[in-house]
Amino acid sequence: MKPPSFEYVAAATLDEALEALADTSLETRPLAGGQSLVPMLNFRLAAPERLVDLNGIEELARVEEMEDGGLRLGAMVRHRQLEHESLIAQRAPLLAETAPFIAHPQIRSRGTVGGSVAHADPAAELPAVLLTLGARVRIARRSRDGESGSRVQRTLDLHDFFFGPFYSALEPDELLATIEVPPSVAGEGTAFDEIARRRGDYALAGVAARVRLDSGGVCDDAAISLVNGGSTPCLMREAAQTLVGAQPTPEAIEAAAATCAETSDPAPDMHANEAYRRHLIRVLTSRVLSRAAARARP
């Protein structure tokens, strides 16, 4: 099928893009990598009257090191950059580890970090991984009536960004501009794994984990998030909390994995029922927690 007709705006700057989004006379959608939006247009699942192309905005394509040692990723950073850029591998190795699991090389070459997060797909890898890392999003828009300045920005913790499947905190005139990833700290280890019917398919289940150990080998912080484990990208706080204050022994890890599976809410479909997905979540959680704990040790 072909997409419905639309007005096309090729924005050269962030302000140009925000100006187009602020014009509410037409229903407007931003176009980043297009790996989700273009198929939706072709199948008439979306029919915006205007598309604002972000691909010409250089300031949204930057990978920068923040003053505290964390990473600032522009919304137009491609998945392929997560896979290959050395700064990302040094500062956020979990992103580099996860990137090869995302779809296929052709899609990774076009798909963007901001597009994946803004799409809010519970089956996508990046939202879950960024949740595990404690990321924040910076959202921009044009000033509304009565507000000073030309541009307004707000920052949200990523766990406050997702409201439901394909539904986020973004307002129609807002644009996700950057994602900020806190720096890793001493004694911290991360890991990711997923199971799919074929490499590149949507995962039947996936798990990302972060474990931090103190000098005595006791876990003082942990985070677990799921791919396809619920209606939104979600942190499994109860499961992660079972590890805090204890050493990550095989028994402790298995208990956390069991809690993670029990408290997850995977949706059944033609590929796997709920019980099988819970089984995969338990197995994968045990696997990635063991790997993350091993990497956290000095």
pLDDT at 264 (0 to 100): 97
**Contact 195/207 with Cβ under 8 angstroms?**
no
pLDDT, tens only, 176-194: 999 999 999 999 999 999 9
Candidates 54, 53, 55, 43; CA nearest to 4 is 43
The helix/strand count (H/E) of the chain reads as 11, 14
More confidently predicted of 90 and 149 = 90
Domains in the chain (CATH in brackets) are: 7-53 (3.30.43.10), 62-181 (3.30.465.10), 189-296 (3.30.390.50)
Instruction: Tell me what the mean pLDDT of segment 28-50 comes to.
Output: 94
pLDDT at 298 (0 to 100): 62
Mean pLDDT score across all residues of the chain: 96
**Contact 233/120 with Cβ under 8 angstroms?**
yes
Residue 79 has pLDDT above 70, yes or no: yes
- Strand order through the sheet with 63-65: 63-65, 71-74, 174-181, 136-142, 151-157
Instruction: Tell me what the mean pLDDT of segment 214-220 comes to.
Output: 95
